[in-house]
Amino acid sequence: MTTGTAVQSEDFSTLTDGTPVRRWTLERGGTRVRVLTYGAVVQSVVVPGRDGARAEVALGLPDVTAYETYTGPYFGAVVGRYANRIGGGSFVLDGRTHRVTANEGRNTLHGGGRGFDKRLWDAAEVPDGVRLSLVAEDGEEGFPGRLAVSVTYTLDEDGALRIAYRATTDAPTVVNLTNHTYWNLAGADSGSALGHELRLAAGRITPVDGESIPTGELLPVEGTRFDFREPKPVGPGYDVNYVLEETGGEPAAELYDPASGRLMSVRTTEPGIQLYTADHLGDGPFVPCAGIALETQHFPDSPNRPEFPGTVLRPGEEFASTTVYGFSVR
């Protein structure tokens, strides 16, 4: 007889203004995941290694005060309304220019100054998990349309973490949602994650300029350090979007730690995945490159790049995206 996911919730801590934050714990098939109502943050993912010992493999912080303090790394958060970057802090939609909050020089990163990572989400238990939801009002951070968003975290029978995003709007807008967890399969407290072996089903990247804004090209990875079509160790210096290929049901990405034997697979409905090696960590509790982010997404700056897959959402439509992080040993 198959049993479902064990789901519990508890008081976690409070924001600096006294607002309480809840923590939800999901456990199934050897996987334990903890999610916060602040930022829809994945605070913890614990999975077994080759020897059966379970370890924390997601970079998380001990309390909400720490998340309020270390906002730049977006530890484990859902980011939006537009994940990644919008060049020049503006875009044109249906002939109208929208200026959105510039929070990285003149550009907009991960939704602006107060994106979804800094919001308190409502939470409700669902079969095998928890659904978090919020409403972003028309004009928040400059984005048009009142956007209703939900992110559902569930554990599959084999302990895989399934993240399902949904959104609707009352006016034309742009949407790009992702989760910003940093992974270290050797253990979150083990230091640098460099040396993990990575495979990506991607033959092209979207190269960027000096401000990390895509040039519009689709650059083949063959013969470059960006080629992960065959597994190889990850080095430093990656913050780039990969153009995912059709995989015939195989994972879009696999990350492997040879020492522990932990293997994480990534399956997604999204057309891209951002590889970020977190070289800029170090001002907080983690060393540089302590975790590797694999952010499933639409491409950066798509609102200004009509040649990229579209990110416009209109009334009567539903934004729907699913990413599954699977865990096993080798």
Residue 295 annotated among the catalytic residues of the structure: yes
16 close to 30: Cβ distance less than 8 angstroms: no
Interatomic CA distance for residues 109 and 115, integer angstroms: 9
- Amino acid found at 246: E
Residue 180 annotated among the catalytic residues of the structure: yes
106-128 core/surface letters (b: 16 or more CB in 10 A; e: else): ebbbbbbeebbbbbbbebeeeeb
- Nearest CA among 259, 205, 210 for reference residue 229: 205
Residues with Cβ within 8 Å of 129's Cβ and at least 6 positions away in sequence, in order, are 5, 7, 26, 152, 153, 154, 155, 162
Could you give the C-alpha distances from 130 to 15, 36, 37, 264, 311, in angstroms and in order? 21, 10, 10, 22, 26
Active-site residue, selected from the candidate residues 180, 196, 270, 298: 180
Active-site residue, selected from the candidate residues 110, 254, 295, 298: 295
Residues with Cβ within 8 Å of 53's Cβ and at least 6 positions away in sequence, in order, are none
Residues with Cβ within 8 Å of 248's Cβ and at least 6 positions away in sequence, in order, are none
Interatomic CA distance for residues 248 and 21, integer angstroms: 41
Interatomic CA distance for residues 101 and 256, integer angstroms: 37
- Nearest CA among 130, 132, 128 for reference residue 116: 132
Q: Answer positive or negative: Cα dihedral of 198, 53, 78, 321.
A: positive
- Residues marked active site are found at 180, 295
